[in-house]
Amino acid sequence: MKEWIPIPGSNKDRLLQAALEEFSHKGFKEVNIAKLAQKADMTTGAVYHHFGSKLGLYRVLRTEMEQRILDRMEGAASLFEDPIKKLEAAMITGFESAVKLNASKLISEDVEGVEQDKIKDFITELTYQSIPGLEYILISSWRSLLKAVFEDHLSVEQGKQLMKWLFERNVIPNEKV
């Protein structure tokens, strides 16, 4: 068992629950660690004891949310043989999952010191059979749509429709270039 997985109801769990709410609504830069600790009915010392820093806490939370989303993306992709259908199913499922998990802000923001590799690596693997480099456009678009939904510029349905539009218009070729 990984050492950072908290026991339900433990101090670590309470901190992670408060952090999820705070980071999901405010983003990394806007979260005040003292207020977060207070929300969890803890001290700032508890945050530093369990996670080392605000960034350490954020990394743990980000890693967990990315894995939950990635698990759903992999499941959706596994239902199809066609590489483009796999990609479409994965991206739309991941988008819906991020929104349902209240992780749109968390997953879409760039934070120095936090790499966004797992989802990007999966998209890269799926696009390999199409156009090398396509993953840069797709992952950027995916994260931008999540950010737009979080900021109320788009509805969830509009975000999904825009992703579907990419696939329906044959913007993403079925053949390797």
What share of the chain has pLDDT > 90, as a percent? Answer: 51
Tell me the pLDDT band of 4, cut-offs 50, 70 and 90. Answer: low
What share of the chain has pLDDT > 70, as a percent? Answer: 88
Mean pLDDT for 31-51 is 91
**Is residue 1 predicted with pLDDT exceeding 50?**
no
**Is residue 42 predicted with pLDDT exceeding 80?**
yes
Q: Which is nearest to 36 in space by CA: 53, 24, 21, 56?
A: 21
pLDDT recorded at residue 173: 55
User: How far is it, in rounded angstroms, from Cα 104 to Cα 96?
Assistant: 9
pLDDT in tens, 118-146: 898 899 888 876 677 888 888 999 999 99
User: How far is it, in rounded angstroms, from Cα 143 to Cα 66?
Assistant: 12
Mean pLDDT for 93-109 is 93
pLDDT in tens, 59-82: 989 998 999 999 999 999 999 998
Return the HEC string of 53-118. CHHHHHHHHHHHHHHHHHHHHHHHHCCCCCHHHHHHHHHHHHHHHHHHCCCHHHHHCCCCCCCCCH
Give me the chain's average pLDDT, please.
86
- In the three-class reduction of DSSP (H, G, I as helix; E, B as strand; rest coil), residue 129 is classed as coil
Tell me the pLDDT band of 177, cut-offs 50, 70 and 90. Answer: very low
The DSSP symbol for 34 reads: H
User: How far is it, in rounded angstroms, from Cα 98 to Cα 82?
Assistant: 24
